[in-house]
Every structure is written in C-alpha cells, then in structure tokens.
Amino acid sequence: MLGPVLLAAARSDSIRRAVSATPVTRPVVHRFVAGEQLDEALTGVRDLARRGLEVTLDHLGEDVTDRTEALRARDAYLALADALRGEGLGERAEMSVKLSAFGQALPGGHDVALANVLPVVEAAAEAGTTVTLDMEDHTTVDSTLAVLAELRRRFPQTGAVLQSYLFRTEEDCRALAGEGSRVRLVKGAYKEPAEVAYQDKREVDRAYVRCLRILLAGEGYPMIGSHDPRMVSITQELARRFGRKPDEYEFQMLYGIRAAEQDRLVAAGHRMRVYVPYGTDWYGYFMRRLAERPANLAFFLRSLATRG
C-alpha cells in the first residue's frame, strides 16, 4: 500500500527538498510536467492544439504560507492570461487554479483567495477563456465552493471540480448540475479519512458513475476527468441516452497520460482537453501522480536505477 505513503510524502517539506534536489528526478518529472517556464508550456499547448486537443493550464503551486507567495501565484496566472490573449489561444486553452496557491489557508483565507483569484478570472474573460477551480483535500471543499459561487455571479462560466471519493459529492453534483454550470468530475487524488471518503476503489468507481449520471442528465456542461476506459465508455453510453451532442460535454486527461487515447477520442469526434501543468513547484503534483498508479512509480524507480 504505497499510495498513502506517497500521498503523505507529498505534504512533507523535508522529502520535498530531497526529491527536488535530485538531478535524476528531472527527466521523469518532464513526463508529467510541460516545462518550468511559461514559454515551454505555450510550446506544449501549440503542439496539443495541432493534434486537435483543447488544454487547461495549471501554473504549479499549492499550500502557500504567506501573502507574498499568494500574490506571486496570482501574477503568474495574470502573465499566463496575457500570453493566451496575445497568442489568440483563448479559444483552445483555459486555466486551472488551486485556491491553496492563492492564500486559502491563510488567516481570512476565503477573502484572500477570492481577492487574488478574481483578477485572474477577469483576465481570463478578457482573453476569451475561463478558469476552473481545482479541488484539493476535503477540508477545503466548502471554502472552494463558496468562492466558486461568488465568482459565478459575474462569471457564470467559472468551473468547479468534484471528487467522487467524497461521500458528499453526489449532493454537490445535484447542486451544480444547473444550466451554465461547468463541472469537472474526477475520482480524487488526496489521502482522505474514512469518515468523509470511500476507501475502496470499487466504491469510488461506483460513486463516479452515479455522479456521471447526475451531471450528464443535468443542464450543465460536464467535464469527464478520468483516464479510466470504463468511465470513458460509460460516459459515451450515458451521453447517447441523455441526448447530449459531442459539444455538450468533454473528456479531460492529464498531460503525459494516455496520449494515444486522447488522440483516439479526438478522431472519434469528441472534445478532449489536456491538463497541462508547468512551473518549478512540481513536487506535490508529481507525488500524487506516482501515488495513483504503481506503473508511474515503477517508471520513476527504473529511471533512478538506470541513471544512478
């Protein structure tokens, strides 16, 4: 059961420092992260766009501990929005943000995060695109949904992420299945206690299907964030049943994961969006990718062994 150990390590500062300083980690990280700088990410976006893929960009960073760092996160996204506008990429590329990078955990966190993310959402609208609020661990869900509700008053296209491993999520899906609402449904990537979340993968999958049904039967725009072939085919079947056209929902997968399947779905006429992380603060994101799949971890360990 390495997953929980890796998820705990994802939150450890000392392990972060050790892993980040190991030079052999870098090439492996680059399998999941588009680059450390904005221009590398934009090159990645152009490549994906040529393959007919849509994109959501994530400037890596989370769990900031002071206001200056939160302002830096805001400024990185403002620069990104500027670049998307300048390059006319707003139609292809939206942005994903983690509110913990915008100061959500600081004193008065709701107001701090809202004040920092609002200019980003405004800049996204000016660039002809939108923002989706990633969902982090369960202690942040109420706060994130409250910020979402405030943003949606002026920018109803702002998206949310809901995680099927949480018991509460079916109810949240119902609340967010209305017209104009954009919801990315994922299984969930954090280590959560049994009081709030299913621990058994089969339970998480069953909950995912129940949530899919609610969102696809609803009036909103569902974004299916999963690499799981079963979830992809169940989505296709439910979309047919509920009479959804291909532009009335989309699939989403992470950069570097199942690229051939991403192309296959585009060729089959589906809208497919790739989540493209970039930046120097890749540690937490990278560790969650290792935790969710033994093959990812094996790939990492093999490359340490062959280079070390």
Give catalytic residues, as residue numbers.
134, 184
Helix count (H) and strand count (E) of the chain?
13, 8
Residues from 127 through 146 that contact ligand FDA (CB under 6 A): 134-135
Query: How many amino acids of this chain bind ligand FDA (CB under 6 A)?
Result: 23
CB of 70 to ligand FDA, least distance (A): 18
What dihedral do alpha carbons 222, 228, 233, 239 form, nearest 10°? -10
61 is a contact residue toward ligand FDA (CB under 6 A): no
* Residue of the chain from 127, 253, 272, 287 that contacts ligand FDA (CB under 6 A): 253
- Which residues ranging from 159 to 218 are in contact with ligand FDA (CB under 6 A)? 161, 163, 184, 186-190
Question: Can you tell me whether residue 67 is helix, strand or coil?
Answer: helix
Given the complex with ligand FDA, which of 83 and 292 has the nearer CB atom?
A: 292
Residue with tokens 């603060």: 281
- Report if residue 302 touches ligand FDA, rule: CB under 6 A: no
Confirm if 41 and 278 have CB atoms less than 8 A apart. yes
Nearest to ligand FDA of 58, 116 (CB atom): 58
Minimal distance, residue 188 CB to ligand FDA, in Å = 5
CA distance linking residue 263 with residue 258, whole number of Å: 9
Nearest approach, Cβ of residue 21 and ligand FDA (Å): 26
Q: Judged by CB under 6 A, does residue 258 bind ligand FDA? A: yes
Question: Residue type at 110?
Answer: H
As a whole number of angstroms, the distance between CA 155 and CA 157 comes to 5
By CB under 6 A, the residues from 217 to 246 that bind ligand FDA are 225-229
Quote the tokens at residue 73: 């996160």
Q: What are phi and psi of 95, to 5 degrees?
A: -125, 140
Distances, alpha carbon 308 to alpha carbons 23, 96, 202, in Å: 10, 35, 38
Question: Which C-beta is closer to ligand FDA: that of 189 or that of 265?
Answer: 189
Which residues of the shown chain bind ligand FDA in the complex (CB under 6 A)? 134-135, 161, 163, 184, 186-190, 225-229, 252-254, 257-258, 275, 292-293
